[in-house]
A and B are shown apart, each in its own frame.
Chain A
Amino acid sequence: MKDDRQWPMAAKNYANTRYSSLDQINAGNVGQLKLAWSFSVGPARGQEAAPLAVNGTVFVVAPYDGPNPNQVFALDAVTGDLKWSYAPKPNIAAKGVACCDVVNRGLAYDNGKIFLNTLDDYSVAIDANTGKELWHTKLGDINQGETVTMAPIVVKGKVLVGNSGGEMGVRGWLTAVDETSGKIAWRAYSTGPDSEVLIGDDFNPHYGWLKGKDLGVKSWPPDKWQIGGAGVWGWISYDPDLNLIYYGTANPGAWNHEARPGDNLWSSSLFARDPDTGMAKWAYAVGPHDLWDYDEINENILLDLPINNQTRKVLVHPGRNGFMYVIDRATGEVLSADPFDTVNTIKSIDLKTGRPVLNDELTPKLGKTVKDVCPASPGAKDWQPAAWSPRTKLLYVPHQHICMNFQTSEVGYIAGTPYVGATVDMFAGPGGHRGEFMAWDPVARKKVWSITENFPVWTGALVTAGDLAFYGTMDRWFKAVDAKTGQVLWQFRAPSGFVGQPTTFIGNDGVQYVAMMSGVGGWPGVVANAEIDPRVRNGALGFTGAMQDLPAQTVGGNSLLVFALPKTQGAATQPNQTNPGASNQGNAPTGQSNHAQ
């Protein structure tokens, strides 16, 4: 759908660029951007969802808590009027098996329908006009530790949904559900025999070590692939010309790597699959035998880039392991992989074999604490998706800057309970800051500018033809920056910290709006929105250590914020008096803009 009045899926488009050609709001006038309306979605837990907009209606989903977990709301984009809401039948026990806050990353729209994934493993189709339920299909089982937190995406009439639960010993899968009938069309497991991973004769990975029969069984100790994690909870992109979908799989379970000698395929891997059949075309193991919980579920942004004087069809994958991968999306060949943050776990990526060259000194040994591991388990960048501007040819990457101490321990599998075996203690990386918003040039393979932030930048990015990049901070600032220079042009102080995904669209009044959920949470934010003790560093799988001062800045929230320029521009108000973020008015931007030399 190449119609930039709409924002029909969390990542905006199949290429996952999160770029909008709208430019009513631009570098010249963004200083006047105002809150047009706001709406409370209820539960004050991590608001990671992307607000969608289709034909002047905004669709948003709440986290899984309160009286109506995962409630969906349809609102008029101009007035904020509530048109309908839909609440799935809850099973609140699901909250206990969600590793990292009870988040939902958003809905998908296709063909007059809104598609919802619930934390307790249902996929639901809702009539976008009326809010009536069309079908609901159970896809997983919370008693196996399975939950669903990802935003679905619809490709050729199939709703694509994957499971979460890499900390619970699940067996990861991606499932295609028919958008009309709600029937399961295919399911591709991430581990196990080729017949269930949907690997057939057509499978042609670029690297030799990834070829062979049933590697999803043989690269594990006997049976361990059945509880090996490798969920699918991130982003899916789609190339209609190659007819391939792309996505990454999560970490292997347990975190204690000594429980699972072998390459542990296909955990922490990328897959290219035929959306009609689910059959794999190629795969690439980004982190064979992962040591640190480096999921590789991060987005794969599909771009055509000039590389060595040739236009190459690539995917750009900002790795959780701290390397920025540029990969040929037809073949799975890694063209380049460069570190974008402090990394001491991996020395480099061997482009001949595609394997990471590990820093063996850090390899965890049972019961021994490994100190100063960078990046920490959430990686140098987690799920929070980057954006690409075809105008500036830069990638806008929100990410964190955290290291950790890490100690493995013995762990036994009990279905429905965590299967981790690690004690983790995270803290700010070198320099003392914990996050960064950076512009990266994937052709020159270098950082162009960056803004350091006190806390991890846990929101997605948005970039527009107004040459503005948007992101939010966990200490409650929503920012618009000059996409070329990184200069902060506008910022808004919100009710709660940000962990969501900014989007932009046109209302039925022809006006451009920018929308963003405010409500701190997610893995780094639970210390501020749930009963977690900031004085015990190992809480929240170790993220408490790095976030223990967050509750002094914010608590949980639940607001959808929708911004627009004033109707009669500049008439009633003077820009500089009404700019809440102007740096000379006491609300100084907290981020420092650094230009890389």
Chain B
Amino acid sequence: MELPVISNAPPALAGGCSESGCGTAPDALAHLPDHIRAKVQDHPCYSEEAHHHFARMHVAVAPACNIQCNYCNRKYDCSNESRPGVVSELMTPNQAVRKTLAVAAAIPQMTVLGIAGPGDPLANPERTFETFRQLSEQAPDIKLCVSTNGLALPDCVEELARHNIDHVTITINCVDPGIGAKIYPWIFWQNRRIRGVEAARILIEQQQKGLEMLTARGILVKVNSVMIPGINDKHLEEVSRIVKAKGAFLHNVMPLIAEAGHGTYYGLMGQREPTPLELEALQDACAGDMSMMRHCRQCRADAVGMLGEDRGAEFTLDKIETMEIDYAAAMVERAKVHREIADNLEMKRALQRAPKFDAPARRADPPASRSLRIAVASKGGGLVNEHFGHAHEFLVYEVGPSGHRFLGHRKCTPYCMGDTSCGDGETVLGQIIASLEGVEVLLASKIGFEPWADLERAGIRPSGEHAMEPIEDAIRAVYDELAAAGKLDPAPAEVAARAA
């Protein structure tokens, strides 16, 4: 097995994404041409590095949709771009612009404004483009991005290019109309509802045409796919190859979310979700030479703040109504903050490039130990700094004898939301343990007595020993310790293979 070694990033990566606060391989962006990498580097949705330092927000100005997906219930926001079962506060373009300016003035780290729902932004072109037009004028220091199902995309490319929007996300779940018919029951096309294979064929054609038109104009395109076991899971590798060939810079595979309680077709029909291990395997298979966005959290369409946080409550419509916004002054302050962050990141990159003097184990012949999965509870900043009971998600790493890589987030309901609300702990703990399938060690800054025992019973070693340590050092130390104790002997199959 080959594992990239984070801290041995070759110096040739100058300017690339080598900071690894959340532990992704440093070459995650290295394959991209310079001009694309420069665009992605500070984008909190696309760069693992930037999402710790910059913030993004979405505004919900686009309620209508022109297709139906089987994972969607139209009572709620688009479940591809948001948490299912969530209804965003719908805004007019004027309100959205005001909110964006208010947030950008208060949170100088806010660099990206996205329109992602609750419906399809390009099925509401007037509302979407009115928002973009005003923002390009009033806040030229904010990057704009938009997500779409692609049906109306070819008609919008000209206009998108005019507004100087450089990030477009297309959700592409298939390139085969037969498969598409199992994902999309209908589309609205040329004044009528069209169903079945014909609908899927038109949608796929429009998506592919839109993708080609955008990349031909040098507009960055990310492709999202929803992994639906038994329907498009095998097929997504082909999708990945095709969108890559057409110039998409990222292909992000997300798990289907299908609960009966959401009232979606898949939810009610009992379509199952992929397991974390299945998702990781597909993400690996699709990766190839193209980076995958493993840190995607399927954030809410109207979220405000750094990835994984939501400060929306500070910027409700009545609150922004009364705010005084001097955006010209804010822009000066923002430029200063952006410079500081950029300098800070550059310094970290320089440190990463400096030669390291590490434990000799790393340079010695790789011992014949197998790799293992370690889950980490972290609040951010690249540290083991979250209590087990407060964690909303665990970062999962695969650690091998000579390196490690970040596999993804396993989301969960926190075991304990505080000292009074631990009543549901029992069932929640069961769910957390189920979500940690394949994980053998769990690091947190603190783990309570009860979950400790349950984790051990489930074959997961809990540890609070590495509290406040950098994640990379902690998982390396755990691995080396277990390997030295002979607890990571190669799997029997490997031994047999070597003996043969």
Whether A and B are associated in the same complex: the answer reads no
